[in-house]
């Protein structure tokens, strides 16, 4: 009765005011209809709309207010041509107060991003009073929060690091390890809109530059490009799985391409421990011409055949403090070589991680039968930048697989 009575009183006030012939309406009625109340200060200047569209360029660079309205912008959010780097969202705060920078596929609206010029906050191009000039240009929506950007350095070796430098004895080989730098990105997408099943996809690239001063048998620098793409299912508890295709292009004293399939089947427990199995299976072999130099500087030309090494690994994975992760594995290859390795990622800040990784392949050949020429090892130390911060770390679409490197994509001679 009281609630109903209160409702009737409010209705009567509005109705009586609406039928009143007096020219002055009550402040309550004016406020309810969104009208300006005289005497309450200077009326604010009218804008062209709640948010200035991205395809308009104002004739002056002022008028940006410190607002954060990424969840309401239309047609796009971020990449406004007249604004600066957003303070509360985009690159510096995808898990801040904007609310539009989800770690998955953008469905209800575009994502906040990175404005090109000026000094404004998120989508602050709303206060322009001068007319604008329409530009029919396409808009580029980038969900930075679903990316991993990484860079660092690595040392590695393998059978391809040893070559024959004798024209009389092909079994006489010489070589040395490789050291250099890498950089790349990894990105995940949710596939729920298309196929359901809590599936996600990922794609990324890793580029390496090694042997920058050449090697004992060649003056060439070593360049590699790794590509990884596939699908996976990440869970809080239960069965995890995924399958990706790895591609490797190498340019050194030889040039070649290789493909392998890499998969995982694992179980995540209620205590967040993950136990599982990974496999790597070569898809295509490759042959290439080679040019090396002997100790006298004479060029030696030959042909080499290469193939990816098939591997089976049993893994253990465990999250650590501040959304970091520890992983260890053991297994074997199709050459009956043993495999051991571990990795550790931990946060230096909410968006920056230190990533380390070690892999060693124990050759079945002993020390007296050329085992040093058949072993594989890889040591990598670098940094990972996650614009999405903790939101991306908790996302089911965060890539399950790292981009292939010299610790997961092993190449052997045939």
pLDDT of residue 394: 73
In this prediction, residues 199-224 reach a mean pLDDT of: 94
Name the more confident of 196 and 382.
382
pLDDT of residue 148: 93
In tens, the pLDDT along 11-47 reads 444 444 444 444 556 666 666 565 655 555 555 554 4
For residues 180 and 210, the answer to whether their CB atoms sit within 8 Å is yes
In the chain, the domains with their CATH numbers are: 24-142 (no CATH), 144-413 (2.40.160.40)
In tens, the pLDDT along 301-344 reads 888 899 999 999 999 999 887 778 999 999 999 989 999 999 99
Q: Is 72 helix (H, G, I), strand (E, B) or coil?
A: helix
Q: Is 207 helix (H, G, I), strand (E, B) or coil?
A: strand
pLDDT at 113 over 60: no
CA distance 397 to 392: 8
Residue 104: CB atoms within 10 Å? 19
pLDDT of residue 139: 57
User: Given pLDDT bands bounded at 50, 70 and 90, which one contains residue 192?
Assistant: confident
For residues 148 and 187, the answer to whether their CB atoms sit within 8 Å is yes
Instruction: Give Cα 28 distance to the centre of its chain.
Output: 52
CA distance 279 to 215: 32
User: Given pLDDT bands bounded at 50, 70 and 90, which one contains residue 372?
Assistant: confident
- Give the H or E element holding residue 9: helix 2-19
For residues 366 and 76, the answer to whether their CB atoms sit within 8 Å is no
pTM: 0.68
CA distance 39 to 25: 13
pLDDT of residue 131: 45
In this prediction, residues 349-362 reach a mean pLDDT of: 94
Q: With 0-12 CB in 10 A as exposed, 13-18 as middle and 19+ as buried, what is 298?
A: exposed
- Cα distances from 269 to residues 137, 234, 388, 397, in angstroms, run 49, 13, 26, 19
In tens, the pLDDT along 37-58 reads 555 555 555 444 444 333 333 3
Residue 218: DSSP 8-state:
B
Name 373's bridge partners.
Answer: none
CA distance 105 to 188: 9
């Amino acid at each position: 009765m009281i609630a109903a009575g209160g409702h009737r009183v409010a209705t009567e006030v509005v109705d009586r005011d609406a039928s009143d012939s007096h020219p002055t309406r009550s402040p309550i009625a004016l406020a309810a209809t969104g009208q300006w109340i005289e005497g309450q200060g200077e009326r604010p200047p009218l804008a062209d709309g709640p948010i200035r569209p991205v395809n308009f360029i104002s004739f002056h660079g002022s008028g940006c207010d410190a607002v954060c309205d990424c969840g309401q912008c239309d047609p796009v959010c971020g990449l406004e041509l007249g604004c600066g780097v957003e303070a509360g969202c985009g690159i510096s705060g995808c898990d801040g107060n904007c609310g539009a920078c989800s770690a998955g596929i953008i469905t209800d609206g575009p994502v906040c991003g990175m404005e090109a010029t000026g000094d404004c906050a998120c989508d602050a191009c709303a206060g322009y009073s001068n007319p604008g000039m329409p530009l029919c240009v396409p808009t580029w929506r980038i969900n930075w929060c679903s990316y991993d950007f990484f860079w660092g350095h690595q040392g590695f070796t393998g059978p391809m690091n040893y070559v024959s430098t004798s024209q009389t004895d092909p079994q006489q080989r010489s070589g040395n390890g490789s050291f250099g730098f890498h950089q790349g990105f990894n990105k995940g997408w949710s596939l729920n809109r298309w196929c359901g099943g809590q599936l996600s996809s990922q794609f990324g690239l890793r580029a390496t530059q090694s042997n920058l001063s050449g090697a004992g048998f060649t003056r060439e620098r070593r360049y590699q490009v790794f590509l990884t793409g596939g699908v996976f299912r990440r869970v809080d508890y239960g069965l995890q799985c995924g399958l990706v295709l790895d591609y490797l292009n190498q340019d050194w004293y030889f040039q070649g391409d290789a493909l392998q399939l890499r998969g995982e089947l694992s179980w995540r427990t209620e205590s967040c421990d993950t136990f599982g199995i990974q496999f790597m299976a070569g898809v295509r072999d490759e042959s290439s011409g080679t040019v090396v130099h002997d100790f006298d500087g004479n060029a030696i030309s030959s042909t080499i055949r290469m193939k990816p090494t098939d591997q089976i690994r049993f893994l253990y994975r465990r999250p650590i403090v501040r959304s970091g992760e520890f992983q260890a594995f053991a297994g074997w290859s199709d050459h009956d070589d043993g495999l051991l390795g571990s990795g550790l990622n931990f946060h230096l800040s909410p968006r920056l991680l230190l990533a380390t990784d070690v892999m060693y392949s124990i050759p079945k050949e002993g020390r007296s039968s050329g085992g040093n020429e058949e072993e594989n090892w890889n040591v990598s130390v670098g940094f990972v930048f996650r614009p999405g911060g903790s939101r991306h770390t908790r996302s089911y679409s965060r890539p399950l697989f790292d981009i292939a490197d010299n610790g997961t994509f092993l190449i052997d001679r045939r």
